[in-house]
Amino acid sequence: MTHYTFPKHFFWGSATSGPQSEGRFPDDGKGDNTWDYWFQQEPHRFHNGIGPDKTSQLYKHFREDIQLLKATGHNSFRTSIQWSRLFPKGTGEVNPEAVAFYNNYIDELLANNIEPFINLYHFDLPMALQEKGGWLNRDAVLAFEHYAKTCFELFGDRVRYWFTQNEPIVPVEYGYLYQGHYPCEVNLNHAIQVGFHSALASSLAIKAYREGKHDGQIGIILNLTPSYPRDPSNPKDVKAAQIADAFFNRSFLDVSVKGHFPKDLVKIIKALNMIPDYQPKDLAIIQQHTVDLLGINYYQPRRIKAKETPLPTNPHIPMPDDYFDYYDMPNKKINPYRGWEIYEKGIYDILINLRDHYGNIPCFIAENGMGVENENRYRNEAGYINDQYRIDFYKDHLRYVHQAITEGANCLGYHVWAGLDCWSWLNSYKNRYGLIEVDLSQNAQRRMKQSGLFFKQLSTQNGFSD
């Protein structure tokens, strides 16, 4: 039998976000964000017509939910403040109902010895700002800076771990290239501008945090998806994988940790004549205000080969995919419900890359999880879901996390997605991820799954045995 013991004070917990968990109620004072608006306009796009108003209703259930987090062994938990809850118009007056809610939420976590990890932005731009151009407009950057300062002032006396953004590449690629987020554009020029403004906004928030002399750390959460070439001995495949990595990983990783954009990506953008608008001081701000701590979301690898398919014409819209093709590797392990490859070693490769090329920055696994459809199939006689597949998924990844730590990677914790089943954008509740079931048909009743019992044991023992 092998026992995998993790470092002392390791962070065991889970993650969610405000827009995916809180819900919306008549008396809460929250303003519309882009998801609220999009659902109002096109509810048919959302699986089973379930929108952000019908999420897990944590706004009303947070005390019960925190007891369940405690029962599943959490010593830490990440969520986000909803910008449109705190500032219904994105700027202006603070919503007192939001201040009261987040104060109570944070205090309840601390009272149960659960360290709050608070993220500021999780894909939920206030609609009032989107109507003015959203992240294309520099005013959104300044509004975010003010929003961040306000959060630090209101809650920074108790929150020691802050994160500026979750997966900032996602609103860029899905909002402005692949039409999975509002405003559903296909415009690389806009995507580049939005990416630059997002990076600048993160740096300005970090600057504000440090100038406020708050007692804690501030970082960012990035979805790092390793780009593997089809044939590592083929220079064309290797170059294609490097370009994909520059677009989707290093675009924010290099900025956040090293303070500059990847040279190979800048070269491509210059060749396309798509350099974003910026002010001379912006690059210095980005260079000087990098993160203390990096959160890593890992779900799947990216398989890449040299460009083989012809570029579309009439007219041709430049896209990242002009520089590579995706490679469908045969015989891969796959989660059929998401269509995602399961490649556990990817989590090790990320941590070793950070060790070797990013100063071994302090980091933690901020999301790792398995979404499964129709989990009722696995309900046992006692009425609980026996999700052994999720337990196996965690263990298979944790073995590689443990290996990376023994080889010197500076990994401080492991958070799963998610503690409770939560709403997932256009997919709503199609795939469930939680340690704890949320039954929307039964007044959002909560029930622990078998994985929740496992996670309690994992945390208590600070490891597991095979």
Active site residues: 167, 367
Positive or negative: CA dihedral 194, 197, 203, 207: negative
Q: Are 131 and 177 in contact (CB under 8 A)?
A: no
Nearest one of 398, 373, 375 to 455, comparing CA atoms: 398
Cα 78 to Cα 227: distance, rounded to the nearest angstrom: 27
**Which H helix or E strand runs over 116?**
strand 115-119
Phi and psi dihedrals of 379, rounded to 5? -75, 130
Positive or negative: CA dihedral 105, 17, 69, 11: negative
Phi and psi dihedrals of 22, rounded to 5? -75, -40
Cα 225 to Cα 222: distance, rounded to the nearest angstrom: 9
| N- to C-terminal Cα separation, the chain | 5
Cα 408 to Cα 387: distance, rounded to the nearest angstrom: 32
Cα 234 to Cα 230: distance, rounded to the nearest angstrom: 8
Cα 84 to Cα 80: distance, rounded to the nearest angstrom: 11
Strand partners, 15: 78
Q: What residue spans of 277-387 are helical by DSSP H? A: 280-288, 345-357
CA distances from 461 to 4, 73, 332 (A): 10, 10, 33
**Which H helix or E strand runs over 170?**
helix 169-176
Q: Are 225 and 253 in contact (CB under 8 A)?
A: no
Amino acid at 83: W
Q: What is the dihedral of CA 329, 332, 338, 343, to 10 degrees?
A: -100
Neighbours of 325 (CB within 10 A): 17
